[in-house]
Amino acid sequence: MTLHSLNLTGAAARFLGGIAGATMIAGLASAPAFGLEIKSSDVHPPDYPTVAAVDYMGELLDKWTNGRLTVNIFHSMQLGGEKEALEQVQLGALEMTRVSVGVVGPIVADFNAFNLPYFFRSREHMFNVVDGEIGEELLQKLAEGGLIGLGYMDAGSRSFYNTVHPVRTVEDLKGLKLRVMQNDIFVEMVNALGGNGLPIAYNELIPAMQTGVVDGAENNPPSYESGKHYEIAGFYSLTEHLMVPEILVFSKTVWDTLTPVDQQLIRNASVLAIQKERELWKAREQKSLDALAAAGIEVITDIDKGPFIEATAPVREKYGSDFADILKRAEAVGG
């Protein structure tokens, strides 16, 4: 039996598990191959679930290969924003990065299916889609963009915050200049809600809010809290308009130089890291909400989402026609 004859497909099969797999990996991991320090970037701080998970991935690789494969994380925006990080990974200057699927849409348009407002019905639905056939197909498509997709992490739901006033209704968003991730779909989403969407890199958001270039932004509780955005924009409303997963991607240029065994070791470690991130995520969300409450931020939760869903329908319709098949299949997925 060879690694190839196993014909691994599907998200679950990315992990070469079981006794046969473990034995094979243990045996082959000692085969001669050069060492590699996998440099990886993340905009978040060290204790954030995505960073902690990639750190764990490094520990596993280090242990499995006696230090031949290691991970060095450039966290806290040390390498700038996510668009730049992706470019570096495409070029092979950086081996790996963990970014939001939000910035992957401009590289492989089908990812915008996951970037549509109010598309996923629930977290369970989102995970069933990304861990199933559709998610796997999209990971494969990343090769066209010079990337190897290792899998999806949890990022909860994104909600609006601003410096001006509490948002309870769609009308409250009218005229607000709101920062979004660098992807037109999000600009159109904010515009459809009556605001003014501005695509700005994550590492430029704080100065943009401080100088009034924008009145606010949108993100999940852990980013809003850990990024200290709440210190500037104290009105946070749980509109939960997006459920965009995180994604871990590897440079195809570098990947193609690796032995099949090292590729499989990296895949195995990433599957366990992703699992860890998802476990850490839930607790982190609550921790962030508690920290916000302790800081005196009143999170607005009593929001009637109906009008928000209705106002963003044109965005789903417009983009939906580009990948109608994916949307139809995703809608049929349970959860």
Interface residues with ligand GTR (CB under 6 A) are 43, 82, 99-100, 102, 155, 181, 202, 219-220, 223, 246
Shortest CB 296 distance to ligand GTR, Å: 23
Please report, for residues 195, 215, 235, 315, the alpha-carbon distance to residue 174 in angstroms, rounded to integers and kept in the order given: 5, 12, 15, 17
| DSSP at 75 | -
Maximum Cα interatomic distance, the chain, rounded to a whole number of Å: 63
- Smaller CB distance to ligand GTR: residue 139 or 265? 139
Shortest CB 317 distance to ligand GTR, Å: 25
- Smaller CB distance to ligand GTR: residue 48 or 323? 48
Closest-CB residue for ligand GTR? 100
Shortest CB 231 distance to ligand GTR, Å: 17
Shortest CB 86 distance to ligand GTR, Å: 11
- Smaller CB distance to ligand GTR: residue 65 or 223? 223
Shortest CB 68 distance to ligand GTR, Å: 29
- Smaller CB distance to ligand GTR: residue 186 or 323? 186
Q: Taking the chain, what is the end-to-end CA distance rounded to the nearest angstrom?
A: 37
**Strand ranges (DSSP E) for the chain?**
36-41, 69-74, 96-100, 147-153, 158-162, 177-180, 196-199, 216-219, 235-242, 246-251, 299-300
The answer to whether residues 295 and 229 touch, using CB atoms and an 8 Å cutoff, is no
- DSSP string spanning 126-184? HHHHHTSHHHHHHHHHGGGGTEEEEEEE----EEEEESS----SGGGGTT-EEEE-SSH
Shortest CB 156 distance to ligand GTR, Å: 8
From 73, 34, 129, select the one nearest 273 (Cα to Cα).
73
- Smaller CB distance to ligand GTR: residue 223 or 264? 223
- Smaller CB distance to ligand GTR: residue 223 or 251? 223
Tokens read off for 305: 């989402």
